Amino acid sequence: MAQHREHVVTKGIRDVNRRLFGGYAQLLKIPHTARFTVGSVIACMPFPMVGMTMTIMTQQYYGNYSLAGALTAVQAIAGAAVGPLFGTLVDRYGQRQVSVPIIAVWMVAATAFVSCVLAHVQPWILFCIVPFLAAVPPWGAMSRARWTNLLKHDRVGVNRALSLCGVFDEAMWVIGNPLASTLAVISGVLTFSFTGACVLIGALMFLTELTTEPASQTQLARAEGLTRREFRAREDAKARLLRAQTAERDARAQAKSEGLGAAEVDAAGKAAYEKSMSGKKDSIWGPGLIAVCVTWFGLGAFQSAAGISIVSFATESNMKQYTGFVFACFSISSLLGALVYGAKNWTIPLWKRFYVCLAVLNLGIGSFLFAKQLWVIAVIYLFIGVCQSPTWINGNQLMLHLVPQTRFTEGMAWMGAMNAIGGSAGSAIAGVAIDHAGSHGGFAVVTALALVSLAIALCGFKQIKESTETPVLTEVDSAGAAGDGDETAAQIDDVARIAAEDADAAARG
Asked if 52 contacts 181 with a C-beta cutoff of 8 angstroms, the reply is yes
Is residue 426 over pLDDT 60? yes
Asked if 54 contacts 68 with a C-beta cutoff of 8 angstroms, the reply is yes
pLDDT band at 17 (very low <50, low <70, confident <90, very high): low
Q: Where is average pLDDT lowest: 48-62, 218-232, 465-479? A: 465-479
Is residue 330 over pLDDT 50? yes
Residue type for position 179 = L
Taking CA atoms, 332 is separated from 224, 249, 264, 342, in Å, by 47, 44, 56, 15
Average pLDDT over residues 80-107: 86
Average pLDDT over residues 50-58: 77
Average pLDDT over residues 323-328: 77
| pTM flag (> 0.75) | no
Q: Report d(CA 28, CA 39) in Å as an integer.
A: 13
Higher pLDDT, 504 or 368: 368
Q: Report d(CA 144, CA 147) in Å as an integer.
A: 5
pLDDT at residue number 483: 44
Asked if 450 contacts 364 with a C-beta cutoff of 8 angstroms, the reply is no
Average pLDDT over residues 398-425: 76
pLDDT at residue number 237: 73
pLDDT at residue number 400: 75
pLDDT at residue number 177: 64
**Which domains are present in the chain?**
23-216+283-467 (1.20.1250.20), 226-282+479-508 (no CATH)
Q: Report d(CA 195, CA 57) in Å as an integer.
A: 15
Is residue 496 over pLDDT 70? no
Taking CA atoms, 98 is separated from 134, 199, 209, 256, 457, in Å, by 14, 15, 15, 51, 33
Q: Give the distance, in angstroms, between the CA of residue 40 and the centroid of all CA atoms in the same chain.
A: 14
Spell out the SS3 assignment of 392-412: HHHHHHHHHHHCCHHHHHHHH
> For a pLDDT cut of 90, what percent of the chain falls above it?
3
Average pLDDT over residues 275-287: 62
